[in-house]
């Protein structure tokens, strides 16, 4: 592994149902994470709960991430954009990280170009992007590799070189998301990690590329986290459904922390 930083990122998606449940889940994760030493824990709740987590968050090492941001008017961070949330508003809610390009948002129409605009906004606002990439399907001809390449190249094409090392890339093959025990194997994960690194080297050179952290997402469970982190050549995980159970999530964090 090139990087010294390790991450476990919880993507709560459109869960839990209420603010009371969100605070309880966060507090339970917070309580159980006091002995974690070497791993950054990032919780990304629905935007409506950011204020609740901000209150529960004080004095804690857990960071808060957002699941989305709007890209228009990045400098003023305000305007007539019904339903959208600006980077400034996220910062005001103690957000430090932003997920961008998640496959579930791409499925709703978010293109590589939109992802690039959002990523630019996040970087300009000095927040840390968690750039999600990953193929929908695997084909024997290897077309999926060009798909991943295009996602990375478009998203990163306008990012100043000195900001690249602050980006976390989350490789999330869509076919492996939300499948329970059907995560990718560590050998395939290792191969893709090398491939992503190769793309970054060709875009930015070896030194910058080696500073980028790659995490894996897609059916990470406490039962498979150990073999993935040991064999996958990755810096941690983006965890979906298992992040909604504090004890499951913390077990995954402990595995990463001890790796």
> What does the binding site for ligand PEP look like in residue numbers (CB under 6 A)?
11, 172, 177-178, 217-220, 238-242
79 or 178: CB nearest ligand PEP: 178
For residue 182, the minimal CB distance to ligand PEP (Å) is: 9
For residue 127, the minimal CB distance to ligand PEP (Å) is: 18
Q: What is the 3-state secondary structure (H, E, C) of 166-213?
A: HCEEEECCHHHCCCCCCCCCHHHHHHHHHHHHHHHHHHHCHHHHHCCE
51 or 178: CB nearest ligand PEP: 178
For 150, what's the count of Cα atoms within 13 Å in the CB-facing half-sphere? 9
Q: Give yes or no: 15 in active site.
A: no
Residue nearest to ligand PEP (CB): 240
Catalytic residue chosen out of the listed positions 57, 102, 197, 248: 102
Q: What is the DSSP string of 71-106?
A: -SSTTT--SS-TT---HHHHHHTTEEEEEES-HHHH
CA gap 130, 96 in Å, rounded: 11
CA gap 151, 154 in Å, rounded: 6
For residue 100, the minimal CB distance to ligand PEP (Å) is: 12
74 or 101: CB nearest ligand PEP: 101
Phi, psi dihedrals of residue 226, rounded to the nearest 5°: -65, -50
| 41: DSSP letter | E
84 or 221: CB nearest ligand PEP: 221
Residue 115 corresponds to which tokens in the numbers above? 């992802």
- Residues 155/133, Cβ–Cβ less than 8 Å: yes
Catalytic residue chosen out of the listed positions 104, 172, 233, 248: 172
Q: Give yes or no: 102 in active site.
A: yes
The burial of 105, by beta-carbon neighbours within 10 Å (0-12 exposed, 13-18 middle, 19 or more buried), is given as middle
C-alpha distances in angstroms, 204 versus 126, 153, 210? 20, 11, 10
For residue 129, the minimal CB distance to ligand PEP (Å) is: 15
10 or 74: CB nearest ligand PEP: 10
77 or 218: CB nearest ligand PEP: 218
Active site residues: 102, 172
């Amino acid at each position: 592994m090139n990087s010294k930083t390790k991450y476990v990122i919880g993507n709560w998606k459109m869960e839990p149902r209420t603010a009371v449940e969100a605070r309880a889940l966060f507090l339970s994760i917070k309580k159980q994470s006091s002995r974690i030493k070497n791993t950054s824990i990032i919780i990304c709740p629905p935007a409506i709960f950011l204020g609740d987590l901000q209150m529960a968050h004080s004095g804690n090492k857990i960071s808060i991430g957002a699941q989305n941001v709007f890209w228009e008017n990045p400098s003023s961070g305000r305007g007539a954009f019904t339903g959208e949330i600006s980077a400034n508003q996220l910062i005001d809610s103690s957000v430090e990280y932003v997920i961008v390009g998640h496959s579930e948002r791409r499925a709703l129409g978010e293109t590589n170009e939109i992802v690039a605009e959002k990523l630019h906004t996040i970087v300009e606002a000095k927040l840390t992007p968690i750039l999600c990439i990953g193929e929908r399907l695997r084909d024997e001809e290897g077309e999926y590799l060009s798909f991943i390449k295009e996602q990375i190249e478009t998203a990163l094409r306008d990012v100043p070189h000195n900001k690249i090392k602050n980006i976390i890339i989350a490789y999330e093959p869509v076919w492996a998301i939300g499948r329970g025990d059907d995560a990718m194997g560590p050998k395939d994960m290792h191969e893709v990690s090398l491939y992503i690194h190769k793309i970054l080297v060709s875009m930015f050179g070896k030194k910058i590329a080696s500073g980028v952290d790659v995490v894996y997402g897609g059916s990470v469970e406490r039962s498979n986290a150990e073999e993935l982190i040991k064999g996958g050549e990755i810096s941690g995980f983006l965890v979906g459904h298992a992040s909604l159970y504090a004890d499951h999530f913390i077990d995954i964090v402990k595995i990463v922390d001890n790796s």
